């Protein structure tokens, strides 16, 4: 049976929108994926708190200490849709990293807080999979449940808490009582045809009620004894925050289906929200963000998706060409420019110089620039040591496509062209001949001290010579 | 704190009270008819406020939304009446509250 992450990867390959499912309809393997993905995000932040793939980096954007969420209630829906999207992609990136499997597309499930069932919910009204403080893993060990509690930067830095007090808490003793009211609220919201009125009533109605009732009051070291969900500054550190907001996003998604002609004000469309996305790029989630919601089981969605995935995903980061010798074949003269293009060259941590020599297999760092075989060089200004957790600087985990429109990897290897201008060197080598056959060049990698190092110090998928003819 | 019953509230049975700024603390507000005894009677409605939290500079304006009960057993209200907004104190009883209200719908 496919997991949600595998199913969605197949859907992506087939060009279909990804599906967000009901939390309480997920299979055990999906719950495990979700737990592992959250745990991986925590791990990334524990290793390097500033790593933007980590849990703390995402959670702090809501309230503490960035306060990005609550500066304008008019963009409540678009802001949170964008925020949730970024979190969902980070969650998948973390799972890919942990499993070392890039054929996963994990989506966030929604927590439908309008229902409670004995089979899936705890007596307090919360789904058991997020309420239970521990669970039994595959090895049979009882371990902390990553969906029940998370370390919080707000608690640690703003409140000066440490040890167990770093972790989020909930006191949902009065939550179950409001479930019928939440159901009634959502039905009422659905009937409201006006976008702004729908948004306001929902924001300050059902949405806020869940925060207040799930957070609750109890034996908490936070001011006034609140649970983390109860205030904007601390809420996003609670793992349930994201599942709650996924439901909020679904309510809007469903409302949009009921009111397809609803007018969204221009300032909502123009307003730039979390991660730099404009409101107009968030309104149509299926088209712009490539996801939909389903209340069906995962099995039903698998059946509906069919088997369109026969071709496995292509590996975009093919093995680097280790060859120091580059065979360029026949090169004709008469060009106005000749350049050696590197494909997907990974920006290195340290600074290097790549020197190109023609037909000189014995070149060393002492050969220098004045030797007749020298034909050009490329200087790479290193970006320094990685300050993130493992994988932070690996562009493999930062692939972007129409299913992931987060900002590009800062080391944009796929979009930066690295070339060596070899015009003079090859002209000199060709001389008066019309062309040369089997042209070989030798790339020497030199470090910052001028010493030749392994060609593997600089990684790239390949390189080729490009010549430009006279117009 | 007293708030007026607007024509819209009387018509739709929904009381919307806009506050100038999201308060620091979260909580639940209760709306009572002046003839009701808060300690004995069911409130006309409740509204949840999701506070900004200690240390936050958030300036967002927020709304208290009360879906008012209309059962026959509940007191009737009409345009021009006032309703009392109360919160619970630490002992579980009701107490008055001061709010910076900018608009009542």
- Residue-wise pLDDT for A245-258, tens only, equals 999 999 999 999 99
- Distance CA(A76)–CA(A461), nearest Å, equals 43
Pair A224, A217: CB distance under 8 Å: yes
- Distance CA(B33)–CA(A270), nearest Å, equals 43
Q: Which of A187, A185, A184, A183 is nearest to A254 (CA)?
A: A187
**pLDDT of res. A50:** 86
Chain B neighbors of A159, CB-CB under 8 A? 54
Side-chain-side CA neighbours of B32 within 13 Å: the count stands at: 22
Cα-only R_g, chain A = 27
Whether A460 shows a pLDDT value over 90: the answer reads no
Greater pLDDT, A414 or A230: A230
Regarding beta strands A291-293 and A18-20, do their DSSP bridges make them parallel or antiparallel, or are they unpaired?
A: parallel
pLDDT in tens, A288-313: 999 999 988 888 777 666 544 333 33
Chain A neighbors of B64, CB-CB under 8 A? 204
Pair A254, A59: CB distance under 8 Å: no
* Grouped pLDDT means (10 residues each) for chain B, 105 residues: 95 94 92 94 94 83 94 91 93 90 94
Residues A185, B67: C-beta atoms closer than 8 Å:
yes
- Under DSSP, the state recorded for A420 is E
Cα dihedral across residues A223, A225, A229, A230: positive or negative: negative
Chain B CB within 8 Å of residue A63 CB: yes
3-class SS shares of chain B: helix, strand, coil, % to 5: 5, 40, 55
Q: How confident is the model at residue A406 (pLDDT cuts 50, 70, 90)?
A: confident
Residues sharing a CB contact under 8 Å with residue A177, sequence separation 6 or more, in sequence order: none
Q: Which residue of B has its CA nearest to A226?
A: B26
Structure ipTM: 0.84
pLDDT in tens, B46-70: 999 998 888 788 888 899 999 999 8
Side-chain-side CA neighbours of A371 within 13 Å: the count stands at: 16
Cα dihedral across residues A116, A119, A124, A127: positive or negative: negative
Segment A329-348 shows an average pLDDT of 84
Whether A426 shows a pLDDT value over 80: the answer reads yes
pLDDT in tens, A75-103: 999 999 999 999 999 999 999 999 999 99
Residues 71-100 of B with CB under 8 A from A: none
Chain A neighbors of B66, CB-CB under 8 A? none
Cα dihedral across residues A100, A104, A107, A111: positive or negative: negative
- Distance CA(A12)–CA(A297), nearest Å, equals 19
- Under DSSP, the state recorded for A86 is H
């Amino acid at each position: 049976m496919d997991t949600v992450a595998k199913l969605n990867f197949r859907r992506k390959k087939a060009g279909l929108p990804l599906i967000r499912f009901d939390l309480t309809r997920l299979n055990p393997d999906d719950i495990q994926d979700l737990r592992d993905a959250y745990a991986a995000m925590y791990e990334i932040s524990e290793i390097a708190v500033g790593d933007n793939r980590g849990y703390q980096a995402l959670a702090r954007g809501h309230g503490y200490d960035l306060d990005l969420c609550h500066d304008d209630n008019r963009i409540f829906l678009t802001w949170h849709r964008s925020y949730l999207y970024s979190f969902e992609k980070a969650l998948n990136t973390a799972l890919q990293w942990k499993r070392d499997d890039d054929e996963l597309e994990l989506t966030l499930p929604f927590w439908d807080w309008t229902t409670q069932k004995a089979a899936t919910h705890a007596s307090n009204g919360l789904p058991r999979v997020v309420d239970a403080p521990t669970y039994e893993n595959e090895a049979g060990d009882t371990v902390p449940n990553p969906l029940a509690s998370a370390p919080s930067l707000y608690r640690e830095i703003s409140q000066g808490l440490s040890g167990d007090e770093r972790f989020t808490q909930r006191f949902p003793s009065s939550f179950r009582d409001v479930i019928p009211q939440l159901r009634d609220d959502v039905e009422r919201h659905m009937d409201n045809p006006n976008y702004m009125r729908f948004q306001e009533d929902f924001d300050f109605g059902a949405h806020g009620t869940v925060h207040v009732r799930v957070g609750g009051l109890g034996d908490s070291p936070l001011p006034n004894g609140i649970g983390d969900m109860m205030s904007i500054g601390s809420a996003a550190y609670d793992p349930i925050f994201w599942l709650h907001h996924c439901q909020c996003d679904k309510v809007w998604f469903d409302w949009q289906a009921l009111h397809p002609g609803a007018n969204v004000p221009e300032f909502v469309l123009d307003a730039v929200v979390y991660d730099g996305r404009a409101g107009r790029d968030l309104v149509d989630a299926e088209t712009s963000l490539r996801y939909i919601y389903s209340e069906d089981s995962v099995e039903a969605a698998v059946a509906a998706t069919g088997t369109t995935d026969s071709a496995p995903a292509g590996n975009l980061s093919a093995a680097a060409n280790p060859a120091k010798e580059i065979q360029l074949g026949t090169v004709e003269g008469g060009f106005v420019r000749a350049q050696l293009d590197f494909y997907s060259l990974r920006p290195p941590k340290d600074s290097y110089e790549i020197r190109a020599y023609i037909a000189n297999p014995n070149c060393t760092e002492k050969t220098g620039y004045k030797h007749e075989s020298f034909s050009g060089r490329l200087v790479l200004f290193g970006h320094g040591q990685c300050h993130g957790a493992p994988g932070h600087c690996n562009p493999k985990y930062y692939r972007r496509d129409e299913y992931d429109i987060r900002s590009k990897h800062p080391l944009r290897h796929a979009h930066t062209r690295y070339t060596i201008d070899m015009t003079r060197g090859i002209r000199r080598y060709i001389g008066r001949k019309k062309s040369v056959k089997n042209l070989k060049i030798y790339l020497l990698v030199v470090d910052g001290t001028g010493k030749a190092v392994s060609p593997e110090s600089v990684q790239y998928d390949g390189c080729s010579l490009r010549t430009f003819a006279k117009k | 704190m007293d708030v007026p019953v607007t024509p819209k509230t009387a018509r739709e049975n929904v009381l919307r009270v806009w506050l100038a700024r999201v308060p620091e603390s979260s909580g639940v507000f209760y709306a009572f008819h002046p003839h009701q005894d808060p300690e004995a009677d069911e409130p006309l409605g409740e509204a949840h406020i999701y506070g900004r939290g200690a240390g936050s500079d958030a300036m967002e304006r927020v709304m208290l939304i009360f879906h008012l009960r209309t059962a026959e057993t509940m007191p009737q209200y009409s345009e021009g009446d006032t309703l009392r907004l109360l919160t619970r104190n630490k002992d579980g009883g009701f107490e008055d509250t001061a709010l910076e209200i900018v608009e009542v719908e």
